[in-house]
């Protein structure tokens, strides 16, 4: 059993129906909670004191509501990567993202930009936790969460499914704006302060940099992911003739 904390995460969990809700806890004198309670059809609703909710939320800001539900399904990369996939499938692969806030924020951007899944490692990776779920503000309810024991192998299987693997790297030979990010694409985001590991980088079909002109030469991992995902979304809304007609060459 897992606890979902906060109004938006709870609302999105109930709306998506990805997992079964078991009990809803709401602040007994809280305002603006009637809509959430009404969404929990058939789910027991308990009115609680703020102190009781604080205990249930285990330190996460709860905004007067906590939902107990079945765990989020975590898919096995070996099986998931076999597909099938739509022709324009967009996924994000995380190579060593350990901050749960970054993890949640990247999941949120992925869902907002039409991504299908976020792939993350079994080791040296932020877990799916109340903090990351809260940071994702409900987005984890809408996309596939895929765990890979071997990220390189998972990316290779995706390549066999027609995916192009694009790694974000500050030293990448091509800019994000010059890449063709249509079709089946997997964006690889490296870990905080470390970037993409060598073996993962060698698996990428091409490496892209976000061109920066200010005195700061790097961006937070979740910010970089958001920029790249937005560019994917922009390109996919363009007519075919308006974008690049060939993929970037390997790094």
Mean pLDDT of the chain: 91
The reported pTM is 0.88
As a whole number of angstroms, the distance between CA 187 and CA 247 comes to 14
Q: Is-cis flag, bond preceding 84, omega within 30?
A: yes
Burial 132-165 (b: 16+ CB within 10 A, else e): bbbbbbbbbbbbbbbbbeebeebbebbbeeebbb
- Between 251 and 55, the more confident residue is 55
Q: Class for domain 74-242, per CATH?
A: alpha beta
Percent of the residues in the chain that have a pLDDT greater than 90, as a whole number: 78
CATH 3.30.1330.30 fits 2-69, yes or no: yes
pLDDT band for position 136 (cuts 50, 70, 90): very high
pLDDT score of 239: 54
- Pick the range with the lowest mean pLDDT from 59-63, 102-106, 146-150: 59-63
pLDDT band for position 64 (cuts 50, 70, 90): very high
pLDDT score of 243: 38
- Map out the domains of the chain as residue ranges: 2-69, 74-242
Question: What does the pLDDT look like over 219-229, one tens digit per residue?
Answer: 999 999 999 99
Question: What does the pLDDT look like over 76-85, one tens digit per residue?
Answer: 999 999 999 9
């Amino acid at each position: 059993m897992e606890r979902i904390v906060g109004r938006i995460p709870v609302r999105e969990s109930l709306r998506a129906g990805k997992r079964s809700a078991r009990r809803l806890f709401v602040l007994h004198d809280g305002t603006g909670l009637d809509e959430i309670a009404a969404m929990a059809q058939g789910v027991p609703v308990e009115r609680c004191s703020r102190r009781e909710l604080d205990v249930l939320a285990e330190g996460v800001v709860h905004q007067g509501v906590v939902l107990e539900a079945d765990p989020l399904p975590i898919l096995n990369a070996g099986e998931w990567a076999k597909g099938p996939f739509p022709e324009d499938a967009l996924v994000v692969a995380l190579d060593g993202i350990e901050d749960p806030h970054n993890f949640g924020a990247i999941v949120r951007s992925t869902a907002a930009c039409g991504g299908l899944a976020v792939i993350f490692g079994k080791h040296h990776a932020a877990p799916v936790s109340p903090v990351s779920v809260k940071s994702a503000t409900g987005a984890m309810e809408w996309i596939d969460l895929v765990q890979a024991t071997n990220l390189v192998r998972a990316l290779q299987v995706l390549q066999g499914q027609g995916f192009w693997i694009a790694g974000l790297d500050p030293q990448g030979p091509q800019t994000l704006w010059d890449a063709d990010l249509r079709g089946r694409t997997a964006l690889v985001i490296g870990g905080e302060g470390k970037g993409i590991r060598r073996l993962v980088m060698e698996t990428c079909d091409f490496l892209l940099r976000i061109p920066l002109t200010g005195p700061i030469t790097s961006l937070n991992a979740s910010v970089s992911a958001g920029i790249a995902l937005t560019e994917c979304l922009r390109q996919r809304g363009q007519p075919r003739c308006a974008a690049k007609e060939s993929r970037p060459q390997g790094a």
